[in-house]
Amino acid sequence: MAVTIKDVAKIANVAPSTVSRVIANSPRISEKTKEKVREVMHQLGYHPNFIARSLASQSTQAIGLIMPSSTDIVFQNPFFPIVLGGLSEGAQAKQYVLHMTTGKTDHEIYEGVVSMIQGGRVDGMILLSSKVEDKVLSYLHEQDFPFVVIGKPFKDTESITHVDNDNFKAAREVTNYLISLGHEKIGFIGGDLNLVVTVDRLLGYEKALEEAGIPLTSEYIIHNQFLREGGREAVQILLSSGAMPTALVVADDLMALGVLNALDEVGISVPEDLSIVSFNNVMIAEMAKPPLTSVDINIFNLGFEAAKSLIQKIENPNEPAKRIIIPYEIVERLSCSEPKAKKGSTP
Amino acid sequence: MAVTIKDVAKIANVAPSTVSRVIANSPRISEKTKEKVREVMHQLGYHPNFIARSLASQSTQAIGLIMPSSTDIVFQNPFFPIVLGGLSEGAQAKQYVLHMTTGKTDHEIYEGVVSMIQGGRVDGMILLSSKVEDKVLSYLHEQDFPFVVIGKPFKDTESITHVDNDNFKAAREVTNYLISLGHEKIGFIGGDLNLVVTVDRLLGYEKALEEAGIPLTSEYIIHNQFLREGGREAVQILLSSGAMPTALVVADDLMALGVLNALDEVGISVPEDLSIVSFNNVMIAEMAKPPLTSVDINIFNLGFEAAKSLIQKIENPNEPAKRIIIPYEIVERLSCSEPKAKKGSTP
DNA sequence: TTGTACGCGTTATCAC
DNA sequence: GTGATAACGCGTACAA
């Protein structure tokens, strides 16, 4: 059996409570006994038992996270490991650990969250992608359990702490960028409309067109999974509709890669025939041929700040909800140019 | 305060211990009282407190994992999220959760492991990449704490449970494949020689050459980080040495991608001028231009089996150490062909 | 079959 | 400043 606080107390000739106070570095203990107790702790190789501490203090120093199932879209996207990195570093900075489970179905995930929380395993939760109707979110909200969502909650935006990019603005900005290059036939390929992020980006895209006086073309707007296959299919839909835009706003790099592949196969070249801007700026954006102009949404910081503000919320339960906006940056590469028709005409 | 076992006991008119037994589904409780107690549990929305349970039963149903720092090589490689997926699904299957921390330096990681274990937070540990001199591994080993390593331990292979591929055999096989295509000038680009996996693959490569009676050329063997930049640099070294092989065994897809990029820049085309086979078969292998012939090492299963056998070990502490070999598969794509010189001569 | 009592290793609330 | 002592919520001998 491991050495406990009692063992230390006995050898140091003090009471267990004194040892506990030394651990907590209580100011009401004399430097002399502190020294003595620390000496013994060291000598015995004492390590505090987190479980017992958690039980007594009703806090675990752990934050919960439900991983999407490995078959899931979210998981296959490089987005995931990067937020995870940010989360764990943000947690680590405040001496918190990450506590993870997986769930295959929505129901499994829900049950996982409930047992994590009711079981007292974690002090707070991180919610990854928020859907339009999110049972988990509603649950946490009504339980008044500390949580923060990465992305934008569909409703109650004001009362839920979340960290997000200004996706609306970003989408408007990249669309304007394409417009400024001379494009008018601009399409949008986004993910599941149940995901709030898709909605935001779509709205930004629409807003930009509207402001430029360009009418929306419904054939130009396609939704699919945030995956490479989603991008491929989107191109096929576009092709079969007969109406091909000259530029595309794609809501995810992986999708954009699928788009690139599909275009390559049918001999449409980027950026000569078609310009593309995408979102996230993960490694593949740089690797693609041609390298993609992409919106760097600073994924790592999304995670880092989420962890930070969750811990803040855990330790100050009465603070009001916050919205944290992580800045984005458009990284120009080689996937955009002026539309073909205009090309010769400008000079 | 949450509803406890006592509350349930009171309402159900039984002793707390009875409720506890109902939860554990003890056979010595009558079906009738079980029914009654369950009814009350449901009605009150009772959820067992994991922390208290852990303290009493001295087991946490959690397995520990130290994430590499997000700045680290391991982390940037798509390998990581995939094993993580396997691990978490393997854990989930037996109702275990994952407990994660990060560590920037080796020392931080070591301290993290010690406090995780001595703090009683986890029942077992997963070790990701095993280095040649691994303090963490030695610590766990001498503590006789349940752990399994993914990859091959440098020493004590027989007494340490690990799950691995037969990297030696795989490397020999792909090298033979290149030889069978007619190549004789075959290079090897691997990762850090401190990583056991690199050593294994290098040895397999050397063995194949030896068996084919092809002398080793030290200029053809290069080590670098398992990253894209590592691949780029390797090519530069190769180029500046003046001796360019006609084929390359690259120990990692991401490195291979770097190789591809660097070759592209200097106008060497794959597979016409140079054949490449790489390892891991992550998504980018398929995405690369040309798509890479790669050894699929079944990363997900590596994680899945690791979690499974760790839990097995936790629940049966006396079982002897096991070695689990996950099968690999060579996935042929378009990055290999016969060497140029031989090309015309065969028909 | 069920209840009583104690222990798991801490923290926290009193006293002194 | 420091020492008893009671929680924290549950598992489990031991009794009954």
Average pLDDT on B61-89 reads: 87
Cβ distance A97 to B257 less than 8 Å, yes or no, reads no
Q: Is the CB of B120 under 7 A from strand D?
A: no
Question: pLDDT (tens digit, 9 = 90+) per residue, B122-143?
Answer: 999 999 876 666 889 999 998 9
- State the pLDDT at residue A346: 41
Is strand C within 7 Å of residue B60 (CB)?
Answer: no
Residues of A in contact with B100 (CB under 8 A): 88, 97-100
**Strand D lies under 7 A from the Cβ of residue B54:** no
Query: SS3 of B262, please?
Result: helix
Q: A316 and A288 in contact (C-beta within 8 Å)?
A: no
Interface test with chain B among A60, A67, A70, A142, by most B beta carbons within 10 Å: A70
- Taking only the tens place, the pLDDT of each residue in A180-218 is 999 999 999 998 888 889 999 999 999 999 999 999 999
Distance from CA of B87 to the nearest CA of A (A): 10
A88 interaction partners in chain B (CB closer than 8 Å): 67, 70, 100-102
Greatest CA separation for chain A: 91
- Which residue lies nearest C5, CA-to-C1' measured? B17
* B46 or B340, higher pLDDT: B46
pLDDT at B8 over 90: yes
Count other Cβ atoms within 10 Å, centred on residue A1: 5
Q: Is residue B321's pLDDT more than 60?
A: yes
Chains A, B: CB contacts under 8 A, how many? 129
E-assigned strand segments in chain A: 62-68, 97-103, 124-127, 147-150, 162-164, 186-190, 221-223, 247-250, 275-279, 293-296, 323-325, 329-331
pLDDT at B105: 86
The pLDDT confidence band at residue B290, using thresholds 50, 70 and 90, is very high
Mean pLDDT score of chain B: 91
CA distances from A216 to A196, A208, A219 (A): 21, 10, 9
Chain D: nucleotides under 7 Å from a protein CB?
1-5, 7-13
The answer to whether B212 and B61 are in contact (CB under 8 A) is: no
pLDDT for residue B60: 96
* Distance from the A118 Cα atom to the nearest Cα atom in chain B, whole angstroms: 6
Tokens, residue A62 = 């752990």
| Digit-coded pLDDT (tens) for A311-334 | 999 999 989 999 999 999 999 999
Q: Which pairs with CB-CB distance under 8 Å and at least 24 residues apart come from B268-272?
A: B268/B244, B270/B335, B271/B334, B271/B335, B271/B336, B271/B337, B272/B337, B272/B340
Please report which confidence band the pLDDT of residue B33 belongs to, taking 50, 70 and 90 as the band edges.
Answer: very high
Nearest CA of chain A to the CA of B333: how many Å?
Answer: 16
> Rounded to the nearest 5°, which phi and psi values hold at A237?
-60, -45
A266 touches strand C (CB under 7 A): no
pLDDT of residue A269: 95
How would residue A12 be classed by pLDDT, with cut points 50, 70 and 90? very high
Query: Looking at the partner chain, which of B97, B100, B115 has a beta carbon nearest the beta carbon of A88?
Result: B100
Instruction: Give the confidence band of B341 by pLDDT, cuts at 50, 70, 90.
Output: low
Partners of B2 on chain A (C-beta within 8 Å) are 118, 120
Do the Cβ atoms of B259 and B307 come closer than 8 Å? no
Nucleotides in chain C near protein beta carbons (<7 Å): 1-5, 7-13
Q: How far is CA B81 from CA A314, B87, B326, in A?
A: 28, 10, 18
* pLDDT, tens only, A228-259: 778 888 999 999 988 899 999 999 999 999 99
Question: Measured in angstroms, what separates residue A33's CA from nucleotide D9's C1'?
Answer: 33
H or E element in which residue A268 lies: none
Instruction: Output the pLDDT for position B134.
Output: 81
Q: What is the mean pLDDT of residues B224-232?
A: 79
**Residue A176 Cα, gap to closest chain B Cα (Å):** 30
Spatial separation of the C-alpha atoms in residues B333 and B336, rounded to whole Å: 8
Task: Give the pLDDT confidence score for residue A226 in this predicted structure.
Answer: 72
The count of other CB atoms within 10 Å of the CB of residue B320 is: 8
Q: Quickly give B21 CA vs D11 C1' distance in Å.
A: 9
Q: Does the pLDDT at position B73 exceed 80? A: no
CA dihedral over B232, B261, A336, A194, signed as positive or negative: negative
- State whether B101 and A88 contact (CB < 8 Å): yes
Residues of B in contact with A78 (CB under 8 A): 78, 81
> What does residue A87 show for φ and ψ, rounded to 5 degrees?
-60, -50
Q: Which nucleotide is nearest to A31 (CA to C1')?
A: D1
| Distance, CA of B74 to chain centre | 10
Q: Is the pLDDT of residue A169 over 80?
A: yes
Is the CB atom of residue B15 positioned under 7 angstroms from any atom of strand C? yes
pLDDT at B132: 65
The whole-number pLDDT of residue B130 equals 67
Contacts of A42 (CB under 8 A, 6+ apart): none
Residue A344: is its pLDDT beyond 50? no
Distance in Å, residue A57 CA to nucleotide C13 C1': 13
Determine, for residues B97 and A101 on separate chains, whether the beta-carbon distance falls below 8 Å. yes
C-alpha A106: how far from its chain's center? 18
Q: B273: distance to nearest CA of chain A, Å?
A: 20
CA-nearest of A296, A264, A261, A290 to A278 is A296
Contact A88, A308 (CB under 8 A): no
pLDDT of residue A132: 66
Q: What's the rounded Cα separation, in Å, for the pair B60 and B120?
A: 8
Residue of A82, A97, A113, A125 for testing the chain B interface, max B β-carbons within 10 Å: A97
Return the closest-CA partner of residue A280 out of A301, A309, A310, A306: A301
Work out the pLDDT band at B24, boundaries 50, 70, 90.
very high
Cβ–Cβ below 8 Å for A92 and B70 = no
At A24, the pLDDT band (50, 70, 90 cuts) reads very high
Identify the bridge partners of residue B222 per DSSP, sorted by sequence position: B189
Question: Measured CA to C1', what is the nucleotide nearest B21?
Answer: D11
B236 contact to strand D (CB, 7 A limit): no
Interstrand relation of A186-190 and A162-164 (parallel, antiparallel or unpaired): unpaired
The span from the CA of A188 to the CA of A173, in Å, is 14
State the pTM of this model: 0.93
The answer to whether some atom of strand D lies closer than 7 Å to the beta carbon of A56 is: yes
A132 touches strand D (CB under 7 A): no
**CA-CA distance, B85 to B82, in Å (whole number)?**
5
Residue, of A273 and A74, whose pLDDT is higher: A273
A341 falls in which pLDDT band (50, 70, 90)? Answer: low
pLDDT digits (tens, 9 = 90+) for B174-222: 999 999 999 999 999 998 888 889 999 999 999 999 999 999 999 999 9
pLDDT confidence of residue B228? 75
pLDDT given for residue B344 in this prediction: 43
Please indicate whether residue B345 or residue B174 has the higher confidence score (pLDDT): B174
| Protein residue minimizing CA–C1' distance to D3 | A15
Among B50, B82, B123, the residue to mutate for chain A (most A Cβ within 10 A): B50
CB-CB contact of B110 with B117 (8 Å): no
In this predicted model, which residue has the larger pLDDT, A224 or B51? B51
Alpha-carbon distance A30 to nearest alpha carbon in chain B (angstroms): 26
What pLDDT shows up at residue B76? Answer: 76
- The A 5-64 residues near strand C by Cβ under 7 Å are 5-6, 16-17, 20, 23-24, 46-49, 52-53, 55-57
Mean pLDDT score, B60-87: 87
Under an 8 A CB cutoff, do B49 and A92 touch?
no
| Interchain contact, B67 vs A88, CB within 8 Å | yes
Dist CA B337 CA B248 (whole Å): 12
> Structural domains in chain B?
62-165+299-327 (3.40.50.2300), 167-296+331-341 (3.40.50.2300)
